[in-house]
Amino acid sequence: MYRVTKALNHNAVLAIKEKGSREYLLLEKGIGFGRKVSEYIEPTEDCRVYSLANDSETGSARNLLESSEPKYLEIANTILDEAEKEFGKVDRSILFPLADHITFAVKRMQKGEQISNPLNQDIQVLFYKEYKIASKVKELLAEADHITVSEDEIGYIALHVHSSICDEKVSGAMQIAAAVRECISLIEADVGKSIDVQTISYNRMMNHIKYMAARALNGEELKLDMNEYMEQKFPNSFRIAATVCSHLGRHLEVILPDIEIGYLAMHIERVYADEGSENK
C-alpha cells in the first residue's frame, strides 16, 4: 500500500510506501484521478514505481521531477516500456533525466529553437535499436503537443535509451560516438572520400570501433593477435589502423593495446575493398 502525497495528473501520483518514509512516483493509467492527499492506494501489476532517492549525472531524481511536466514523465515511461520489450531489463532510474530532457526539448521547439546533432548519423548506426525506440517520441509529442520532433533530437533521446540498457552514462555514449566519428573521418581522409554508410562493411567497422573504445575504457583486451599477418598482407590498412588506434587512445585518454590494430585493419581493408569495387 502507498499513501498519496500529491496527485500530479490523472496518471501520476507521488506517494510514500506504507510503514516507510521514502517517496515514490507511481505511473499508471487513471491512478491519479480523484486522488486526495493521505489516501491509500494499492498499485496494480501494470503500475510503474520509481524511487525519488536516486541521483544521476544531471541531478537528483527529485529535482528533475520538479522540473519535468507530468505528461513528459508519462512519455519517458512509455519509451522505457518499449526499450524493455526490445532489450529485456532496463534501468528505470533514467526516467527522470529522460523526462527532463524531453521537457526542455519541447520548450526549445515551442520557441522555434532547433538544436543540431553533428553525430546523429553515427548514433543511428551505432545505436540502431535504441534510435528506433527513441523515434516513438515523434508520435507521442505530436499527440501531446502537436510538435514535430527533429531527427537530431531523436538522436539525443536514443543516447538516454542506450544508457537505460547499459551501465554507461549518456555523456559516455556521446564520448564514444564522437570518438568513432573522428576515427571514421581519419579513415575517410585516407580513402580520399566519404565512405558509403549503407554498406555492411561500414556498419561493421563502426560497431567494431565502438566496442574497441568500450574495451579500452573497461580495461578489456583481445586474445588473438593478428598484427603480424595483417601488417604483411595489408600494410596500407594496417598503417591507417595504427594511426586510428593512436588517435582513439588520445581522445579517450587511455592506452589501446597494440593487439587492437590488426582487428581494425581487417575492417578497414573490407571498406577499402568495397570502395575499390565501386570504382571499377
Grouped pLDDT means (10 residues each) for the chain, 280 residues: 94 91 93 93 93 81 91 96 94 93 92 88 91 96 93 94 88 87 88 80 88 87 92 94 92 89 93 62
Three cell numbers at 118? 553533428
Within a domain: 173: no
Backbone angles phi, psi at 26, to 5 degrees: -115, 125
Would you say residue 153 lies in a domain? yes
Per the CB < 8 A criterion, the answer to whether 15 and 38 are in contact is: no
Structural domain includes residue 231: yes
* Domain span holding position 251: 184-279
What are the CA-CA distances from residue 22 to residues 7, 52, 56, 59, 64 (Å)? 16, 8, 18, 18, 17
Residue 280: its pLDDT value, please?
40
Are 105 and 202 found together in one domain?
no
Distance CA 230, CA 265 (A): 7
Same-domain pairing of 29 and 45: yes
77, 89: one domain: yes
Q: Residues 112, 15: one domain?
A: no
Residue 240 within a domain: yes
Return the pLDDT at 278.
Answer: 52
pTM for this one? 0.84
| Whole-number pLDDT of residue 276 | 57
In a domain, residue 172? The reply is: no
Same domain, yes or no: 42 and 62: no
In the prediction, which pLDDT does 59 show?
Answer: 77
Number of structural domains, the chain? Answer: 3
Residue 89 burial (CB count, 10 A): 9
